[in-house]
Amino acid sequence: MARDYPLQRVRNIGIIAHIDAGKTTTTERVLYYTGISHKIGEVHEGEATMDWMEQEKERGITITSAATTCFWTQTYADHANKENEYRFNIIDTPGHVDFTAEVERSLKVLDGGMTVFDGVAGVEPQSETVWRQADKYHVPRICFINKLDRTGASFEKSFATILDRLSKKAIRMQIPIGLEEKHEGVVDLLTMKAYDFEGELGKEVKEIEIPDTLKEDAIKYRSEMVEKIVENDEEAMNDYLEGKEIPISKLKEIVRKAVIANEIFPVFCGSALKNKGVQLVLDAVIDYLPSPLDVPPIKGTNPKTEQEENRASDDAVPFAALVFKLQTDPFVGQLAFFRVYSGFLEAGSYVLNTSTGKKERIGRILRLHANKREEVKTVYAGEIAAAVGLKSTTTSDTICDEEHPIELERIVFTE
């Protein structure tokens, strides 16, 4: 049976942030704009779609790494052409210091991350902890400086804290139009276009003129950005030094390669609460974050031979997956969330748990949108889903084809 989605159009991402940076609101906007969540749940009302365990609803913070599937077509692409649509599997990562092991679990199965920062506070201690964890797993990241509508917000100060405390490889891809109550939109430095966000919950992205007061800054920051980008490509660097204009498509290509290699961290901005900027960050997920084909094969050990083996994201090789989260669902019992690294898995089939040596039957396979579920017959390499029926499987276990056993690297937690 053929896959319904090409791997190059899949993004497995996490939204990584400090507890108060506005991560849940950002996730909610993502789910709204991607067309699944039609009524935005605000965190302070305790009804955000991702936070679906009662315990979280009471505390207003995100605990479970629920995996959510949604779809996105870039703002400027032809929306009638289905080939422009991408599938995002969003792994929700907690932002509270108590849940660091939970974050590590999520990072292990991500291909890329969107890191959200508070535009007033900038980088906070927990942001540093989570950033270092993402470094440990070499997770490519894009950054979103959020809350620019708040009193005391400063894009420049927040950006400076990223450079100072996290990475000198961060580069401005946008600058905000106005701050605090005057925050109206963003300027895209790559295309030198400005955007504001209109209609219900800002869902219409509208191109506008760059305000006169920002033109000089935009030119200066674009020049800085291009200089940092071309440092990652010798040919572009030579053209740049010769005074040639580097095409936008070439700059994007360099940024994509450099992001995947953890050599650039592009920085975007806006306000999720005031519905500004989120769609352009979703565009950036497609442009710059890796598909499962862009990440190295996962390493594992063959338990029979004790030799190291690699498994690439390929449907044609034997099935192997890592279980990264167990969750009790009130309707179906225990759900085991897993990431398929190679091959494919059909509902009703048997798998070998190489961590326990036991054979288990997969009852049903579900793809989840927070607390809504869709039953699927088959999942393929690079996908994330939840299985019902795994009785003796726990977090970090490998499930695989019994004829071709492999034990994938376990999730090791930092104390």
Q: What is the mean pLDDT of each run of 10 residues along the chain (415 residues)?
A: 85 85 82 60 48 46 61 88 90 64 77 95 88 91 98 98 98 98 98 94 93 98 98 98 97 99 98 96 98 94 95 96 87 89 97 96 85 84 94 93 93 59
Q: Are strands 185-188 and 174-177 parallel, antiparallel or unpaired?
A: antiparallel
Residue with token string 């906007």: 29
Task: Return the half-sphere exposure (C-beta side, CA atoms, 13 A cut-off) of residue 317.
Answer: 17
Long-range contacts: 186-189, Cβ < 8 Å, 24+? Answer: 186/268, 186/269, 186/270, 186/276, 186/277, 186/280, 187/214, 187/218, 188/280, 189/218, 189/221, 189/222, 189/225
Is residue 376 within 8 Å of 347, Cβ to Cβ? yes
What's the CA gap between 320 and 299, in Å, rounded?
A: 11
- pTM recorded for the entire structure: 0.90
CA distances from residue 89 to 71, 113, 130, 225 in whole angstroms, order as listed? 9, 11, 20, 30
Q: Spell out the domains of the chain, with CATH numbers in brackets.
A: 7-294 (3.40.50.300), 298-408 (2.40.30.10)
pLDDT at 95: 60
For residue 263, the model assigns a pLDDT of: 98
The residue behind tokens 């804290």 is 161
Orientation of helix 248-260 relative to helix 212-230, angle to 10°: 60
Q: Name the H helices within 118-211.
A: 125-136, 155-165
| CB neighbours of residue 73 within 10 Å | 20
Q: Using CA atoms in the order 27, 33, 34, 36, what is the torsion angle rounded to 10 degrees?
A: 80
Report residue 61 CA to chain centroid gap: 19
pLDDT at 67: 81
